[in-house]
């Protein structure tokens, strides 16, 4: 009889959907610029393997790691698998589109392996995965798990805590998230308590020289 181990999965849509921010749409069409110590290119398979202090830029995207395997399909979609040095984590960072005047927003992640899918417009962080959202230089949200999938097209995160019975005590790794409340300025202003009405000046009384008062 087979036993099935159910992973702990946490779908986090509220963090990214709030505020109407999306990943930079233009990044998909930008060229992928890569620097490394060595390169092995296979023209038949249309694959390239970069090794040694790999640095990737693609529009607002920045990626760093020890080895990058890149391929491209006939439609021009690019796919990359970035691996970290043993004991370290590969790095990913991307700017997000925000409303005018809302300030810069970034998604930043690390993992042992990072998979970039240009066709599906997704990024997968595998093993010791971490993902952070910054407003300018201020850390707002932070999430960790075994697998994190960041979908640029829908602005939805899926975080997998890993299969059950992977710890000595038989429990599954837990998804952890620290979420900072997002305050929408127009709504915050509307929700603010109304200011107290201005005090009405008391009537000024004057002494009258006659019993009937001044006419």
Whether the per-residue pLDDT at 79 is higher than 90: the answer is yes
Residue 7 burial (CB count, 10 A): 16
Interatomic CA distance for residues 68 and 59, integer angstroms: 18
pLDDT tens digits along 23-71: 556 787 788 899 999 999 988 888 899 999 999 999 999 999 999 999 9
User: Phi and psi of 120, rounded to 5°?
Assistant: -80, -10
Among residues 56, 79, 87, 51, which one has the least CA distance to residue 66? 51
Are residues 140 and 103 in contact, defined by beta-carbon separation less than 8 angstroms?
no
**Rounded average pLDDT over 143-164:** 82
Choose the most confident range, by mean pLDDT, from 21-35, 99-113, 160-174: 99-113
Domain ranges of the chain: 9-183
Strand partners for 132: 108, 142
Q: What is the pTM of this model?
A: 0.70
Backbone angles phi, psi at 88, to 5 degrees: -115, 180
Cα separation, 191 vs 182, whole angstroms:
14
CATH code reported for the domain at 9-183: 2.60.450.10
């Amino acid at each position: 009889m087979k036993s099935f181990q159910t992973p702990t999965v946490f779908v986090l849509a509220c963090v990214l959907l709030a505020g109407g921010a999306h990943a930079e749409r233009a990044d998909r069409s930008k060229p992928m610029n890569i620097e490394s110590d060595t390169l092995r290119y296979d023209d038949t398979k249309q694959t390239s393997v970069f090794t040694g202090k790999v640095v990737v830029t693609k529009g607002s995207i920045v990626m760093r790691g020890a080895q990058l395997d890149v391929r491209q399909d006939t439609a021009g979609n690019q796919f990359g698998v970035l691996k970290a040095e043993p004991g370290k984590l590969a790095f990913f960072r991307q700017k997000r589109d925000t409303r005018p005047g809302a300030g810069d927003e970034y998604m930043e992640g690390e993992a042992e392996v990072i998979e970039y899918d240009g066709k599906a417009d997704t990024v997968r962080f595998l093993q010791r995965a971490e993902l952070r959202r910054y407003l300018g230089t201020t850390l707002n949200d932070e999430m960790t798990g075994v697998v994190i999938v960041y979908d640029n097209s829908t602005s939805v995160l899926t975080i997998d805590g890993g299969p059950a019975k992977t710890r000595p005590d038989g429990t599954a790794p837990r998804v952890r998230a620290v979420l900072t409340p997002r305050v929408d300025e127009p709504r915050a202003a509307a929700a603010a308590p109304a200011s107290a009405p201005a005090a009405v000046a008391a009537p000024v009384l004057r002494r009258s020289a006659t019993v009937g008062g001044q006419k």
